[in-house]
Structures are given as C-alpha cells and as structure tokens.
C-alpha cells in the first residue's frame, strides 16, 4: 500500500521498524478513501494504540492531528483544497498553517 507521506516501512514518529501497524489517517467512514488515496502510515504499537498519546487514544489531538495536517498538506501539493474537502468532509489546515 503506497502512502503519500511515507516512503519507508517504519514508524512515522520514532522510526522504529519493529511491531508496526498500518494506520489509516482518516478512519471510520473514510477508511476506504484513505486506502485508495494513500492516506496511510506505518506506526509502532506505542504510537498507534498502546501509548498514552497514541493516535487512537487522543483522536484529533496530538499525533493524530499532526498526521491529518501532514496528509492534507501533501495531498494539496497536487490537488486542490476543495478536492480534499470533497473526499474527507473538512479541512484540517487553516490560515495559520
């Protein structure tokens, strides 16, 4: 599976290559969109689910929000913001980004 923000099979945050999980940056109803568009990254278990600040314990905050913003930024290098909003339903990048 090709990611638009990651080229190596390592944790996006700590770079370990052990105990990796594939994370869909936009899950739930947007999981298929994430798969189709490469909105995925590899995360170690600590950053994915087990750690106190993992993406699944702190949704839309911390690391989860970092991934959403990074993904949208990379997508917008070749697509419009309107296209992203059509896919995901909202923008994670504001005027301050």
Quote the mean pLDDT of the chain. 92
Residue-level pLDDT at 8: 94
Rounded to whole angstroms, the Cα distance separating 42 from 17 reads 9
pLDDT tens digits for range 52-73: 889 988 766 789 999 999 999 9
Domain of residue 74, residue span: 20-87
The pLDDT value given to residue 57: 85
**Is the full-model pTM beyond 0.85?**
yes
Instruction: Evaluate whether residue 80 is within a structural domain.
Output: yes
Report yes or no on 57 lying in a domain. Answer: yes
Position 42 in a domain: yes
Rounded to whole angstroms, the Cα distance separating 74 from 11 reads 18
- Please tell me the total count of domains within the chain: 1
The answer to whether residue 10 sits within a structural domain is no
The alpha carbon torsion through 4, 6, 7, 9 (nearest 10 deg) reads -130
Rounded to an integer, the average pLDDT of 82-92 is 96
Tell me if 1 is assigned to some domain: no
């Amino acid at each position: 599976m090709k990611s638009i923000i990651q080229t190596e099979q390592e944790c996006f945050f700590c770079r370990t290559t052990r105990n990796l999980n594939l994370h869909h940056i936009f899950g739930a109803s947007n999981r298929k969109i994430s798969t189709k568009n490469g909105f995925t990254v590899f995360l170690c278990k600590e950053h994915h689910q087990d750690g106190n600040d993992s993406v699944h314990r702190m949704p839309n905050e911390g690391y989860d929000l970092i991934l959403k913003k990074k993904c949208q930024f990379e997508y917008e290098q070749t697509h419009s913001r309107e296209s992203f909003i059509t896919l995901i339903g909202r923008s994670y990048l504001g005027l301050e980004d």
